[in-house]
Amino acid sequence: MLREIDTFFAEDPNTTKKLMLMHEIDYKNPGKKRYKFNSFLTDKQREHYIEVAKTQNVGLVCEAGTPGLSDPAKEFIKQCWIHDIPFEILPGATALIPAVISSNWNTTQF
């Protein structure tokens, strides 16, 4: 699945680079783009990322914890719902958490 992604949004692009190397994905390929994606994005950056997600095959890589519960991915998933951008969440050890994350429920209390 990672090989199919054209553009990566990452909390830490250097950590994502290591992940890509582990999976033998050519991160230097000009067709693969990487953007830093964290809580400190400006509104303009967020709008740009949404436009990118509408037109490209995007992967959001979270380096720690469960993505989508209380990190920058949560806001991105919300924007995908708002803008009708299809998305998938890859499951980990349990199917419950990806189901909660992709449901668009308010997870603020988690």
Domain-by-domain residue ranges, the chain?
2-102
* Measured distance CA(10)–CA(7) in Å, rounded: 10
* Measured distance CA(61)–CA(32) in Å, rounded: 14
Predicted TM-score of the model (pTM):
0.70
- Residue 60, pLDDT > 70, answer yes
* Measured distance CA(87)–CA(108) in Å, rounded: 21
With beta carbons less than 8 A apart as the criterion, state whether 4 and 55 touch: no
**Domain range 2-102, CATH architecture:** 3-Layer(aba) Sandwich (3.40)
Mean per-residue pLDDT, 78-103: 79
Comparing 48 with 91, which gets the higher pLDDT? 48
What is the predicted pLDDT for the residue at 108? Answer: 72
